[in-house]
Amino acid sequence: MLRVIVRRLLQLAVTLIALSALIFVWLRNLPGGPVEALLGERATPERRALLIKALGYDQPILVQYAKFMQRVVTGDFGNSIRTGDPVSEVIGRAFPATIELAVVAMIIAIGLGVPLGYLAARHHGRLLDNLSIAGTLLGISIPIFFLGYLLKDVFTQNIHWFPPSGRISTGLDNTNVTGFFVLDGLLTREFDATADALWHLILPAFTLATIPLAVIVRITRASVLDVLNEDYVRTAEAKGLRHRVIRGRHILRNALLPVVTTIGLQTGALLSGAVLTEKVYNWGGLGTLITDSISGGRDYPVLQALILLAALVFVVVNLLVDLSYAFIDPRVRVR
């Protein structure tokens, strides 16, 4: 087991280093070069020369790459072109918003997806099954930003159930501890803030959950269908085991492995979807940051940090998923 972990960690490191090298090359080959990108219209020969020296672009490329890597490892990505603040600070402010949104979306997707997929498989070929298939197909075919606008229109304009945008009501005096508003409310016992933050979360989280939900339902359904026909399930039934035991120990536990893999892969869909969802609901997280960093004159220092961060999150989550196999499937532990 330990050897597997070490090998996977090494692989992960290689992937990330390669990605950082690509990003380095990308930044070096920006249209007009990184210096132009930084200076913009204020470029004069003197300024350019000064900046080239200040940024170390007069040094050999390998030295530059080493310096770049050194800064990446220490989390120093320079300053945002747009605001002038350090990139780590800019990202640190937006990070909790996206994580909060993604976690709630994932809870919705798993919490609804696994039972729905299981039920669909149990009712194979009947109305519930067909409805769930139709639903999942629609879920993966709808542009989620459009779904976001649709939900927003129905639930905030026509019937005022939810707030249209933002993470918390303006004027609510909530104490900021961790940046996770739901958690902050619990920590400081400002339960009204928690309730308000959750209330703001529902629509965006459902929007973001659409695609993972659809995929999880499909995979769970297919996986449970496979397991249902296994001999050991029939044996368990023949032994007269209670249905609850068969369901839990024999069916779900065996059917869960592909589902867990899918959940890991859906992190990618969540990160992608967050960019779209956050724009719809004006969420102010990493997705909003990406959109702003591109549309308001390209803010390359922020962008490169965001790209590396997204890759890091995605790769680490998938590593954790792979490792979790050991807990679900004893066969993996032996190998």
Partner 1 sequence: MSDPMTRPGVTSPRDGSGLPASDLSAGDRPGVEEKPEGVTRDLGRLGDRKKARLDELARATADKGGVSLVRDAFRRLRRNPVAIVGASIVGIFILVAIFAPLLAPHDPAQRFDELTKNLTVDNIPGASSEFPLGSDPLGRDFLSRLIYGSRQTLFVGVVATLIGLGLGVLIGALAGAFGGWVDNILMRFTDVMLALPALLLAISLVAMASRSSQWTVIFAVAVVNVPIFARLLRGSMLAQRESDHVLAARALGVKGRSIVLRHMLPNAMTAVIVQATLTLSTAILEAASLSFLGLGDPDINRAEWGLMLGVDGQRYFEVRPELAYYPAIAIIVVALGFTLLGEAMREALDPKNRR
**Closest distance of CB 197 from partner 1, Å:** 25
User: Does the protein bind partner 1 through residue 137 (CB under 8 A)?
Assistant: yes
Give 39's contacts (C-beta < 8 A, 6+ positions apart).
47, 48, 51
Distance, in Å, from the CA atom of 262 to the CA atom of 10, rounded to the nearest integer, reads 23
**Closest distance of CB 198 from partner 1, Å:** 26
User: Does the protein bind partner 1 through residue 268 (CB under 8 A)?
Assistant: yes
Of 145, 130, 135, residue with least CA distance to 113:
135
Residue 76 vs 226, nearer CB to partner 1: 226
Cβ contact 311:321 at 8 Å: no
Distance, C-alpha 182 to centroid of its chain? 18
User: Does the protein bind partner 1 through residue 282 (CB under 8 A)?
Assistant: no
User: Does the protein bind partner 1 through residue 273 (CB under 8 A)?
Assistant: yes
Which one of residues 39, 51, 311, 319 is an interface residue with partner 1 (CB under 8 A)?
Answer: 311
Give, rounded to a whole angstrom, the gap between the first and last alpha carbons of the chain. Answer: 8
User: Does the protein bind partner 1 through residue 276 (CB under 8 A)?
Assistant: yes
Cβ contact 71:308 at 8 Å: no
Which one of residues 4, 51, 198, 307 is an interface residue with partner 1 (CB under 8 A)?
Answer: 307
**Closest distance of CB 252 from partner 1, Å:** 23
CB atoms within 10 A of CB 230: 14
φ, ψ (nearest 5 deg) of residue 76:
-100, 110
Distance, in Å, from the CA atom of 47 to the CA atom of 30, rounded to the nearest integer, reads 18
Site string for partner 1, 192-231 (x = CB under 8 A): ----------------------------------------
**Closest distance of CB 158 from partner 1, Å:** 11
Contact positions toward partner 1, by CB under 8 A?
11, 14-16, 18-19, 22, 26, 30-32, 137-138, 140-143, 145-146, 149, 153, 267-269, 271-273, 275-276, 279, 290-291, 294-295, 298, 303, 307, 310-311, 314-315
